[in-house]
């Protein structure tokens, strides 16, 4: 979306038109809606803006629920926005630390700022991009003077009136549609600037979950977050926002439920043991935080193999921090023999999971030529130097 489209949209005509549209859920819906609006005499710029926003609102429901139906987006802004459930967790940490005001630097479309303002924390939101800042202002308008937005650079923001900072450095090339990731040394603002800021004021720094751990300062709390099975972010916390004696944390969110594992340091792994009655796959946040060993001990489990994030046990235990599978048997890992074995067992629906082996699950599934009414999970991995295929049932 460029400024001319946004200007056309932010009129009484444009907003009424947008709010009056039925959901635009498919390419066919886009074509029909564009044709209808153009036939009604609306300008190309307005039609493009309205239909684009209607399509983005449908996609945004996964992150923002019903709130999406009154928000505005850019494609890139939606992709990079914090899910509302995660933003609420960030806001809760600030509230619990007694923070009453925060500068949201690199606010994007305002996902985290919505969480802060929703819990009564005054927000000063800043974004370098003009279109994005205008959209954030629209999304935060219901909070009135409690949430202000302006265009500007994080490095030039006056922080004298705030108690904490939330910082989301730009980790992709600029733009409102197609963007690409940049290297950590090219983040804006730079990480060194962000880490220096975190030494001077309580700060939360949102980063990608795959950040090189060697770049994490030792004095910051590192919290990896997963939401509904996807590891979505790493947050580094400083000052009063960091918890005493916590340096590694894995926060697991599923729907409205949340569980967290914390530790003063990386956890030592449990030793490798033979395949037992159960296999457990740790959540991605647990893996990133290197807290697999703590989860293993809670399940009376050990590692299935060195350097591979599968656990195994004989105890009938599970945990919110793992997906658990009851082992049926070990089958040949070679596709032709495995295909024959699965057909003999009548398995036509197969969830394929893999670690430590170089296979494409989609191509592997095709090669298996599945037939039958049964279902199962197939865990393809290696134990020592041997590739194995473990047939199991998800618990």
Q: Specify the CATH number for the domain of residue 147.
A: 3.40.50.150
Considering the domain boundaries, does residue 150 fall inside one?
yes
Residue range 20-26: average pLDDT?
93
Say whether pLDDT at 344 is over 80: yes
Instruction: Give the rounded distance of the alpha carbon of 367 from its chain centre.
Output: 32
- Together in a domain, 96 and 68: no
- Together in a domain, 64 and 211: no
Considering the domain boundaries, does residue 378 fall inside one?
no
Considering the domain boundaries, does residue 35 fall inside one?
yes
- In angstroms, the CA 306 to CA 272 distance is 7
| Number of alpha helices (DSSP H) and beta strands (DSSP E) in the chain | 13, 16
Considering the domain boundaries, does residue 28 fall inside one?
yes
Res 238: pLDDT: 98
- Together in a domain, 87 and 59: no
Res 177: pLDDT: 66
Please, is 299 exposed, middle or buried when counting C-beta atoms within 10 Å of its C-beta (0-12, 13-18, 19+)?
A: buried
Say whether pLDDT at 157 is over 70: yes
* pLDDT bracket for residue 296 (50, 70, 90): very high
Out of 245, 263, 281, a domain closes at 263
* pLDDT bracket for residue 372 (50, 70, 90): very high
Res 185: pLDDT: 82
Considering the domain boundaries, does residue 42 fall inside one?
yes
**Which one, of 92, 99, 93, 104, lies nearest residue 128 by Cα?**
104
CA atoms in the 13 A half-sphere facing the CB of 191: 18
Residue range 110-125: average pLDDT?
97
Out of 73, 104, 126, a domain closes at 73
- Together in a domain, 107 and 256: yes
Residue range 126-147: average pLDDT?
96
Q: Are strands 322-331 and 278-282 parallel, antiparallel or unpaired?
A: antiparallel
Tell me: the pLDDT tens digits for 297-325? 999 999 999 999 999 999 999 999 999 99
- Together in a domain, 51 and 89: no
- Together in a domain, 20 and 93: no
Tell me: the pLDDT tens digits for 214-267? 999 999 999 999 999 999 999 999 999 999 999 999 999 999 899 999 999 999
- Together in a domain, 250 and 204: yes
**Percent of the chain, pLDDT > 70?**
98
| Other Cβ atoms closer than 10 A to 96 | 12
- In angstroms, the CA 301 to CA 276 distance is 9
| Other Cβ atoms closer than 10 A to 296 | 25
Tokens, residue 203: 């700060």
Considering the domain boundaries, does residue 321 fall inside one?
no
- In angstroms, the CA 322 to CA 327 distance is 15
Q: Of 65-69, 104-108, 185-189, 360-364, give the lowest mean pLDDT range.
A: 185-189
Res 385: pLDDT: 87
- Whether 391 and 368 have beta carbons less than 8 Å apart is answered as no
Q: What is the mean pLDDT of the chain?
A: 95
Q: Map tokens 């030039």 to a residue.
A: 156
Tell me: the pLDDT tens digits for 176-214? 666 777 888 889 999 999 999 999 999 999 999 999 999
Residue range 50-68: average pLDDT?
95
Mapped onto helix, strand or coil, the DSSP state of residue 231 is strand
DSSP assigned state of 241:
G
Considering the domain boundaries, does residue 276 fall inside one?
no
Say whether pLDDT at 2 is over 90: no
Considering the domain boundaries, does residue 365 fall inside one?
no
* pLDDT bracket for residue 26 (50, 70, 90): very high
Out of 49, 73, 97, a domain closes at 73
Say whether pLDDT at 269 is over 90: yes
- Together in a domain, 127 and 156: yes
- Together in a domain, 194 and 242: yes
Residue range 73-82: average pLDDT?
94
Say whether pLDDT at 338 is over 80: yes
Res 175: pLDDT: 65
* pLDDT bracket for residue 128 (50, 70, 90): very high
Q: Of 107-111, 168-172, 384-388, give the lowest mean pLDDT range.
A: 168-172
- Together in a domain, 49 and 128: no
Res 178: pLDDT: 63
Residue range 56-81: average pLDDT?
95
- Together in a domain, 163 and 19: no
* pLDDT bracket for residue 4 (50, 70, 90): confident
**Domain span including residue 66:** 3-73
Res 139: pLDDT: 97
Q: Are strands 302-305 and 278-282 parallel, antiparallel or unpaired?
A: unpaired
**b/e per residue 167-192 (b: at least 16 CB within 10 A):** bbbbbbeeebeebeeeeeeebbbebe
Tokens, residue 333: 């890992």
Residue range 362-384: average pLDDT?
95
Say whether pLDDT at 36 is over 90: yes
For the chain, the domain total comes to 2
- Together in a domain, 33 and 133: no
**Percent of the chain, pLDDT > 90?**
92
Res 172: pLDDT: 73
């Amino acid at each position: 979306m460029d400024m001319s489209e946004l200007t056309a949209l932010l009129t009484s005509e444009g907003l009424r038109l947008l709010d009056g549209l039925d959901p635009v859920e498919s390419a066919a819906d886009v074509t029909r809606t564009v044709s209808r609006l153009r036939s009604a005499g609306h300008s190309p710029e307005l039609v493009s803006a309205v239909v684009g926003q209607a399509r983005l609102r449908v996609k945004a429901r996964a992150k923002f629920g019903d709130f999406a139906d009154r928000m505005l987006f850019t494609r890139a802004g939606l992709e990079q926005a914090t899910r509302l459930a995660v933003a609420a967790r960030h806001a809760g940490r600030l509230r619990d630390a007694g923070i009453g005001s925060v500068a949201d630097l690199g606010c994007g479309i305002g996902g985290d700022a919505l969480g802060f303002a929703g819990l009564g924390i005054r927000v000063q939101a800043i974004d370098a991009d003009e279109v994005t800042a205008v959209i954030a202002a629209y999304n935060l308008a219901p909070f009135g003077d409690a949430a202000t937005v302006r265009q500007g650079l994080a490095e030039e923001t006056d922080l004298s009136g705030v108690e904490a900072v939330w910082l989301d450095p730009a980790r992709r090339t600029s733009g409102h549609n197609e963007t690409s990731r940049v290297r950590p040394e090219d983040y804006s603002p730079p990480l060194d600037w962000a880490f220096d800021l975190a030494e001077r004021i309580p700060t939360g720094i949102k980063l990608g979950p795959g950040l090189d751990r060697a770049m994490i300062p030792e004095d910051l709390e590192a919290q990896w977050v997963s939401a509904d099975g996807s590891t979505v972010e790493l947050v580094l916390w400083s000052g009063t926002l960091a918890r005493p004696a916590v340096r590694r944390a894995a926060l697991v969110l599923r729907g409205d439920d949340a569980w967290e594992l914390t530790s003063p340091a990386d956890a030592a792994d449990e030793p490798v043991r033979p395949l037992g009655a159960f296999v457990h796959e740790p959540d991605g946040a647990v893996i990133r935080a290197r807290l697999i060993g703590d989860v293993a001990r809670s399940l009376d489990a050990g590692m299935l193999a060195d350097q591979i994030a599968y656990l195994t046990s004989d105890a009938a235990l599970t945990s919110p921090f793992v997906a658990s599978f009851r082992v049926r048997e070990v089958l040949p890992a070679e596709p032709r023999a495995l295909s024959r074995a699965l057909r003999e067992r009548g398995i036509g629906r197969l969830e394929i999971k893999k670690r430590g082996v170089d296979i494409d699950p989609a191509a592997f599934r095709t090669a298996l030529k599945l037939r039958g009414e049964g279902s199962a999970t197939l865990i393809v991995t290696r134990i020592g130097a041997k590739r194995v295929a473990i047939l199991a049932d998800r618990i």
